[in-house]
Amino acid sequence: MVYFCYIDESGTPQIPGNTSHYVLCGLSIPVKYWKRCDKQINKIKAKYGLAGAEIHTGWIKRTYLEQSKIADFEKLSYTDRRSAVISARTAEVYRVKNQNNPKALKQLKKNFENTAPYIHLTYQERMDFLREVADAIGGWSYARIFAECIDKIFFDPTKAVHAPDEQAFEQIVTRFEYYMTHVGRNGEENYGLLIHDNNLTESVKLTSLMKTFHKRGTLWTKIRHIIETPLFVDSSLTGMIQLADLCALALRRYFENGETDLLDRIKPRFERRREKIVSVRHFSKDDCPCFLCE
Ligand SMILES: [Zn+2]
């Protein structure tokens, strides 16, 4: 069997950066089920008027202020909601333009651009959409989620051998490798390929790191099942990377804000051995009370 492991991150690997956690998450899917998964996600997207749109969880989850100012917004058709939001946003762009604050204007335009595909959906509908996607992932018995969730407060750069992003990558590679060894016990040969969200600095770093792993193994295991260095793709074009992004964000929001809604839906895809979760780790203080550490 061949497995694709789609990898994306949530939060910033820099210390301190602007998030307390850095999460790197991989979603592994056996290639023979890829078509089935893709079809199911497209069906959910179509139901919410999102055919062809990217699933960018962070932007979908936001509150869109102008929606609350439109009278009976939820009673309007998708088309009418869209045009009402667009005209409110155009007015807002002109208002900010007059303030002579190029930085604020740039930020506003960026927000509007990134949320544009979802403005015809109320907050409730957008959350329902994400829940349905998370439920779909949770139901894929053949898929697995691998993740390293680093609490940067407890990451000591003076003692660590690797930076947070390198440590996280080594963990994902190790666990994906273990998984393929484990599921191969029935005599079937397994091979896996890593498909990573493209990012210029990361791609150079991780390619060289992966070459080292192929030569010498990770700290924990030799690499026998993963082939190649990661393939770097544009997440806006590759739908499965967007699902890895959803999983990464669900994990980070749990550690940072205690949110469990999306996390509980994807949890069934964590690999367990003797009841213990082995594919996802929280790198944190010794007495962390979270469900992964306890
Ligand atoms: Zn923990």
User: What's the predicted TM-score (pTM) here?
Assistant: 0.95
Length of the chain: 294
Return the residue matching tokens 């053949």.
142
Q: Domains in the chain, ordered, with CATH?
A: 2-44+134-283 (3.30.420.10), 65-118 (no CATH)
Q: How confident is the model at residue 70, as a pLDDT?
A: 96
Tens-digit pLDDT profile for residues 97-156: 999 899 999 999 999 999 999 999 999 999 999 999 999 999 999 999 999 999 999 888
- Residue 255, Cα to own-chain centre: how many angstroms? 14
Mean pLDDT of 186-201: 91
Tokens of 7: 């990898």
Checking if the pLDDT of 89 tops 90, the result is yes
Kindly give the distance from the C-alpha atom of residue 261 to the centroid of ligand 1, in angstroms, as a whole number.
17
Residue type at 120?
H
Tens-digit pLDDT profile for residues 273-294: 998 999 999 999 989 999 999 8
Tokens of 31: 């290639």
Kindly give the distance from the C-alpha atom of residue 285 to the centroid of ligand 1, in angstroms, as a whole number.
7
Q: How confident is the model at residue 199, as a pLDDT?
A: 86
Mean pLDDT of 162-184: 94
Kindly give the distance from the C-alpha atom of residue 292 to the centroid of ligand 1, in angstroms, as a whole number.
5
Q: What is the DSSP letter of 230?
A: P
Residue type at 218?
T
Return the percent helix, strand and coil in the chain, to nearest 5. 50, 15, 30
Q: Is 129 in contact with 44 (CB distance < 8 Å)? A: yes
Kindly give the distance from the C-alpha atom of residue 147 to the centroid of ligand 1, in angstroms, as a whole number.
13
Kindly give the distance from the C-alpha atom of residue 31 to the centroid of ligand 1, in angstroms, as a whole number.
32
Q: How confident is the model at residue 160, as a pLDDT?
A: 83
Q: How confident is the model at residue 246, as a pLDDT?
A: 98
Q: Which of 268, 290, 293, 256 is nearest to 58 (CA)?
A: 256
Checking if the pLDDT of 175 tops 80, the result is yes
Checking if the pLDDT of 185 tops 80, the result is no
Other C-beta atoms closer than 10 Å to the C-beta of 162 total 14
Alpha-carbon torsion (192, 198, 199, 204), positive or negative: positive
Model confidence band, residue 17 (pLDDT cutoffs 50, 70, 90): confident
Kindly give the distance from the C-alpha atom of residue 182 to the centroid of ligand 1, in angstroms, as a whole number.
25
Q: How confident is the model at residue 214, as a pLDDT?
A: 98
Kindly give the distance from the C-alpha atom of residue 219 to the centroid of ligand 1, in angstroms, as a whole number.
22
Q: How confident is the model at residue 169, as a pLDDT?
A: 97
Per-chain mean pLDDT for the chain: 95
Distance in angstroms (rounded) separating the CA atoms of residues 278 and 285: 18
Strands 272-273 and 276-277, by their bridges, are antiparallel
Q: How confident is the model at residue 1, as a pLDDT?
A: 93
Q: How confident is the model at residue 186, as a pLDDT?
A: 74
